[in-house]
Structure 1
């Protein structure tokens, strides 16, 4: 699971939880399943949540890695076994193609917008930790989720 730190010292964390009382900020809803992924930002002192939310649907979902750019946008990879994973309009693939699929999510600095890109087959890809070449490029391990992703 992952942690990243921005230039101001804020910590960004992703992983999985099955806790219905995981510390979240307003409007976060547990999706269900065995566990949900989460995206959390802690202040530089580590004493307060800037934001914290669940990420997932009715199946099991987990965040595997996280990176942050100069604008404090968080980039998260992981996997989903949820047919109703919250993909946004315009996502490359809005529903899983196998039992579980990898995902790549961007959460803006205030989690006002979460953009999901769920990759296409092969089935059961899970997107292990990403390498980070920020800004502005996020690098995935060669051959893990690429070459099926339509990146140019």
Structure 2
């Protein structure tokens, strides 16, 4: 497998793909890591592009994965890093991945909210316990 160094010989190619095969072809080329994609329509607004919804879905899934990774690292949970990039999922698998990421994010946010509520309750109860102890000492001194 080669790499993209400046001194390596390169060829500029333009591919025309059928819409049905575009995803599979681009993902396969991307997984090889031997190509660089150039935007031939830099003046086109992002919202006018053909696959803008798919890109948004991927961005949203990436955001959720970054959030999950941040929380995992924050808690010091070891993660397995094989150093390999996984294969691009098929479009039908994307729906399952989206649902899984959404579920995990919601559950983790709920767990964090519950942990914060428990901390607040613990601090309030600890404060009340100390107040009761001081009050008990005060009443014991008065009754003596």
User: TM-score under structure 2 normalisation?
Assistant: 0.19
Bigger proportion of residues as helix: 2
Bigger proportion of residues as strand: 1
Largest Rg, 1 or 2: 2
Greater RCO (Cα-Cα under 8 Å, separation 6 or more): 2
